[in-house]
């Protein structure tokens, strides 16, 4: 959500300024480009050198800059136009009043007045100042200008008092900005539950029953759902893959029973559930405590059925849009349609192992999307990332219908 965004962080003179080192780190970790403007008093609370090191950009504090015996100026207009997002945190009562009334007596305020981007401000002050009518008037005026307020929280304040006025935590500031940016996306404020990968069913401490699924299809679905603004819970069987995205929570499991429990823990609050995992149908009835020795030429293992995760979700489905996968080798359409109806799905994604380039361990996939109204749409062979786009477009078109 913040990857590649230019973020201008304005820091004013309050004790909460020390938290901005953590805020800069979080923004950089999210992939943003960060520049920092300090007011003169802010440098008493947080080191410009620290912020410059973390942001990988010089910290600006005045209109004039001196380099190599030459005098130049920090162009506030260019800074305002450079920024995709401006965050002022902490925003003191003094700065908020100046912003609300158009006072322009430092670089930060001049840049604010030049900014064409969304502006967020996170107030920080003592509780009496926070509740004062003049401060509330500043809040109202700034929001009427289109600025976004990240409200202060309650807690212990620098004065020793306890109450409202504590600056929002850096994590909450980043989440607030992300939520604002995601509101225009198709899956904004949606929770998407996705399963991926195989399951491993233990035979003994070193052996298992499993399959060749890499989990790539499920991981690509998770990445695309997050790109579209969703909060994603990815329940993954054993896989070397990983996703670095704050909108994706990955829960790693090993067996079908573990996946069943993890999925049901999140299903009730999900808006969309996509079961792309290749769950083992059977597991050994008895799991040996010790490694089984080669004592004979034959080894028999009695298998018992695992719980059908997709079927169980269909039985308790309320408002969720439930999607399953069907990997078939014969009578593909008939078998997929039968699974869709039996398991009370809204749609099913059909793969055939007879299609070259589709199936486990491949970078590509060829799918047919079938919904509960028997609408069938076949797609050409594509990368699994492109297939994820197609699947989510089909889902979105139906939940918005």
Q: What is the mean pLDDT of residues 292-310?
A: 92
Higher pLDDT, 324 or 155: 324
For CATH 3.40.50.10300, list the domain ranges present in the chain: 191-289+297-399
The class that CATH gives domain 191-289+297-399 is alpha beta
327: left (phi over 0), alpha (psi -120 to 50) or beta: beta
pLDDT tens-digit readout, 101-133? 999 999 999 999 999 999 999 999 999 999 999
Q: Tell me, yes or no, if 306 is annotated catalytic.
A: no
Q: What is the CA radius of gyration of the chain?
A: 27
Q: Helix, strand or coil for residue 33?
A: strand
Q: What is the mean pLDDT of residues 21-27?
A: 96
pLDDT tens-digit readout, 40-83? 999 999 999 999 999 999 999 887 766 656 666 678 889 999 99
pLDDT tens-digit readout, 82-105? 999 999 999 999 999 999 999 999
For CATH 3.40.50.1950, list the domain ranges present in the chain: 6-182
pTM of the model: 0.74
Closest to 247 in 3D by CA, of 264, 262, 268, 225: 225
CATH code for the structural domain at 6-182 = 3.40.50.1950
What pLDDT score was predicted for residue 73? Answer: 67
What pLDDT score was predicted for residue 330? Answer: 84
Closest to 148 in 3D by CA, of 230, 77, 227, 85: 85
Question: Which residue among the candidates 6, 75, 211, 344 is catalytic per the annotation?
Answer: 211
């Amino acid at each position: 959500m913040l990857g590649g965004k230019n973020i201008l962080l304005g820091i004013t003179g309050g004790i909460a300024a020390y938290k901005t080192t953590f805020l800069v780190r979080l923004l950089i970790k999210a992939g943003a480009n960060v520049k920092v403007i300090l007011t003169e008093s802010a440098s008493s609370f947080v080191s410009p050198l620290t912020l410059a090191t973390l942001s990988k950009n010089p910290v600006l504090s005045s209109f004039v800059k001196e380099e190599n015996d030459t005098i130049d100026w920090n162009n506030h207009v260019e800074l305002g136009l450079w920024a995709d997002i401006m965050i002022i945190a902490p925003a003191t009562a003094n700065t908020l009043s100046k912003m609300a009334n158009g006072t322009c007596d430092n670089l930060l305020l001049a840049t604010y007045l030049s900014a064409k981007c969304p502006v967020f401000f996170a107030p920080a002050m003592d509780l009496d100042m926070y509740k004062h009518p003049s401060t509330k008037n500043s809040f109202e005026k700034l929001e009427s200008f289109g600025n976004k307020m990240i409200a202060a929280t309650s807690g212990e304040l620098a004065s020793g008092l306890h109450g409202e006025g504590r600056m929002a935590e850096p994590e909450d500031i980043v989440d607030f900005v992300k939520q604002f940016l995601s509101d225009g996306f198709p899956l904004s404020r949606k929770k998407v539950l996705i399963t991926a990968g195989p399951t491993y069913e233990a035979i003994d401490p070193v052996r298992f029953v499993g399959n060749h699924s890499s989990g790539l299809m499920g991981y690509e679905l998770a990445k695309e759902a997050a790109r579209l603004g969703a909060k994603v819970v990815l329940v993954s069987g054993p896989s070397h893959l990983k996703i670095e995205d704050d909108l994706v929570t990955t829960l790693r499991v090993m067996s079908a029973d573990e996946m069943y429990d993890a999925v049901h823990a999140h299903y009730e609050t999900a808006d969309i559930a996509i079961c792309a995992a290749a769950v083992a149908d059977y597991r050994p009835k008895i799991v040996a405590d010790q490694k089984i020795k080669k004592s004979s030429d034959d080894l028999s293992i009695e298998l018992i059925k695992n719980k059908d995760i997709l079927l169980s979700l269909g039985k308790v489905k309320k408002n969720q849009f439930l999607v399953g996968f069907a990997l078939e080798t014969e009578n593909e359409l008939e078998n997929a349609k039968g699974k869709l109806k039996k398991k009370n799905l809204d749609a099913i994604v059909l793969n055939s192992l007879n299609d070259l380039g589709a199936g486990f361990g491949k970078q590509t996939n060829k799918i047919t999307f079938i919904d509960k109204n028997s609408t069938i749409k076949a797609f050409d062979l594509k990368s699994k990332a492109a297939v994820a786009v197609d699947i989510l477009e089909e889902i979105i078109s139906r939940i918005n219908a």
